[in-house]
Amino acid sequence: MNDHFIPSLGFVLRHECAYAPGHQGDLHYVISEDVPGDTGGCTKFGIDAASHPGVNIPALTLEQATAIYHEGEWSLCRCDALPRKLDTAIFDCAVNNGRAVAAILLQRALILCGYGIVVDGEIGPETLRTATLVDGPGLIARLLQLRRERYADIVLHRPADAKFLKGWLTRVDDLERFLL
> For 74-110, what is each residue's pLDDT tens digit?
999 999 999 999 999 999 999 999 999 999 999 999 9
pLDDT higher than threshold 60 for residue 46: yes
Confidence of residue 111 (pLDDT cuts 50, 70, 90): very high
Cβ–Cβ < 8 Å for 101, 88: no
Q: What is the DSSP letter of 163?
A: H
Confidence of residue 38 (pLDDT cuts 50, 70, 90): confident
Contacts for 154-160 with beta carbons within 8 Å, 24 or more apart? 160/37
CA 164 to the chain's CA centroid? 15
Q: What is the DSSP letter of 83?
A: P
Residues 6+ apart with CB under 8 A from 176: 140, 141, 144
Cβ–Cβ < 8 Å for 115, 134: yes
pLDDT confidence of residue 43: 96
**One-letter amino acid for residue 47 of the chain:** I
The closest of 54, 111, 113, 106 to 77, measured between CA atoms, is 106
Distance in angstroms (rounded) separating the CA atoms of residues 89 and 12: 10
CATH fold for domain 5-179: Chitosanase, subunit A; domain 1 (1.20.141)
pLDDT higher than threshold 90 for residue 141: yes
The closest of 129, 132, 109 to 119, measured between CA atoms, is 109
Average pLDDT taken over every residue of the chain: 95
Cβ–Cβ < 8 Å for 85, 176: no
